[in-house]
Amino acid sequence: MAEYIHGYDPEEQQRLVDQARYWSDRLLLKDLEFDPEAKILDIGCGVGAVLGIIGEKFPTLTFAGLDHQPRQIAYATEYLRRLGLTTDLQVGDAYCLPWASDTFDFALTVWLLEHVPDPAGIIAEALRVLRPGGKICLTETDYQSLLIYPPHPDFDYFQQALCELFQVAAGNSYIGRSLGGYLEQAGFTGVKNEAIAVHHWHSPHNQDLKGLVNHLDTWIKLMIPQMVEKLGKNPDRLENGLTHFRQVPNHPHGAITLTIYRATGYKP
């Protein structure tokens, strides 16, 4: 597994829970339907945030999750227990899942494949543990697609540094564009790869733009020390770019667009 650029401290664990809450209806629960007794697996489940969102809506399901960090699984175990969910959570390797073949009805990864050097290996394992007819769902953000108005060269500098940070950690900030191809090459059928555009603008009728800026700011601001240390970026330009990003909601024509890719397919 590549380096997880966000870390594992308690603040990051809470951020993952808050992130799942933010994207719950906007993305994570979008078009999800299950048989009441379905078994689902979250590969790279982290603190169990996504399983918790799904479990609150579909409490009769059986939930399994895997993460390579024991502290994440410890958090997930307690978090999902408080939600009253039946879980099988394992510390392990996503390239060698500790479950038998043909076990699950649904497998998912959310913001995992952007952090790994070999997405195909994980997808192959997901195919193995799914039952025939089982469904996979992969979700990844395309960080190069983050567009703001008004534009600013220092924000462009910040954004490029963010994408480079994934690359030096052996990840891929553009992986969402390729998810459909990965699924077809693994042997999945009925593959779809949907680009979900999120676009908010300055409006007197809602706070959606400010909400998105605040949500993204909670983690992108923490990347600056790594951008300086690992990439040799100019800290003043990075800080100025982030400041401009934070001011977008105050501009009378301010706007932000972000693309998230979601790919699905079925095991033959």
The pLDDT of residue 194: 97
The pLDDT of residue 172: 94
The pLDDT of residue 12: 80
Report the mean per-residue pLDDT for the chain.
Answer: 95
The pLDDT of residue 86: 86
The pLDDT of residue 6: 55
Q: Is the pLDDT of residue 1 over 70?
A: no
- Per-residue burial over 213-237, b if 16 or more Cβ lie within 10 Å, else e, is bebbeebbeebbebbeebbebeeeb
Tell me the domains of the chain and their CATH numbers.
Answer: 10-266 (3.40.50.150)
Q: Is the pLDDT of residue 204 over 60?
A: yes
13 exposure class (CB count in 10 Å sphere: 0-12, 13-18, 19+): buried
Q: Under a CB-based contact definition with an 8 Å cutoff, are residues 266 and 188 in contact? A: yes
Helix, strand, coil percent content, the chain, rounded in steps of 5: 45, 25, 30
Q: pLDDT tens across 62-76, in order?
A: 999 999 999 999 999
Q: Is the pLDDT of residue 5 over 70?
A: no
Beta strand pairing call for 255-266 and 130-149: antiparallel
Please state the length of the chain.
268
Q: What value does the mean pLDDT take over residues 93-117?
A: 98
The pLDDT of residue 4: 56
Q: pLDDT tens across 227-240, in order?
A: 999 999 999 999 99
The pLDDT of residue 188: 99
pLDDT band at 10 (very low <50, low <70, confident <90, very high): confident
Q: pLDDT tens across 128-161, in order?
A: 999 999 999 999 999 999 999 999 999 999 999 9
Q: Is the pLDDT of residue 174 over 80?
A: yes
Q: Under a CB-based contact definition with an 8 Å cutoff, are residues 241 and 157 in contact? A: yes
